[in-house]
Amino acid sequence: EGQPENFSGAVGQFDFDVILSKDALRASESFQAKIKVNGKGNLNLFKLPKINVPNTLEVYEPERSENIKTTLAGTQGSVEENYTIVPQYQGKYPIPEVQFSFFDPKSKSYKTLRSQELLVDVYDGPTAGIANTDRQDGALRTPLPVSESTFRFIQLETKLTPIKEPSFWMSSKFWILFSLA
């Protein structure tokens, strides 16, 4: 009862944070966004929330790392997912807040922690140009320039012949190497 919509099975007492490795960079450089949960509870039995970034940022699958210790007092430590993100165009990109919900058995209630909204400033790169948003998924498209040399056909006339290598056995190289050994 009262379970949040984004609850993924976390039970315990946790802290939550989203950390960027850089907040200002050049276009085509990469930065990391780390989603980290630490505390005491069932750390290896739930999924971390996913980061949501604008479509013009290229996001790679996260690398998950766990630092968990199990003792008689329970399981404690940290779990994190590290996303590599590459901006293609210059601009200011907001990264919306990320929410993490868990059940706290001490207070017998659900709690939701929120990260701050973050801003990444991308400078010194190409501009996105005129955005074309006629796609149904809302993604941006930039038209590509087309010229006569865009597509060229290559005709190859090759005649393959086998390569004949001289035999190494009993050759002068063989006897020279044999005498040196």
Provide the residue type at 125 as one letter: G
- pLDDT-above-70 percentage for the chain: 80
> Between 60 and 143, where is the model more confident?
60
Supply angle C-alpha 105, 79, 8, rounded to 5: 50
Which amino acid is residue 159, in one-letter code?
Answer: K
CB environment 46-65: b (16+ within 10 A), e (fewer): bebbebebeebbebeebeee
pLDDT exceeds cutoff 50 at 135: no
Q: What is the pTM of this model?
A: 0.66
Per-residue pLDDT tens for 16-59?
999 999 989 988 889 999 999 999 999 988 999 999 988 888 99
pLDDT higher than threshold 80 for residue 132: no
pLDDT classification of 119: cutoffs 50, 70, 90: very high
Task: Tell me what pLDDT residue 54 has.
Answer: 87
Query: Whole-angstrom Cα distance, residue 29 to residue 25?
Result: 7
116, 19 Cβ separation under 8 angstroms = no
Query: Does 129 have pLDDT greater than 70?
Result: no
Residue with tokens 């989203």: 18
Q: Answer whether residue 150 shows pLDDT above 90.
A: no
Tell me what the mean pLDDT of segment 67-89 comes to: 91
Mean pLDDT, to the nearest integer, of 163-180?
81
In this prediction, residue 134 has a pLDDT band, given cuts at 50, 70 and 90, of: very low
> Cα–chain-centroid distance for residue 58?
8
User: Do 75 and 68 form a contact (C-beta atoms < 8 A)?
Assistant: yes
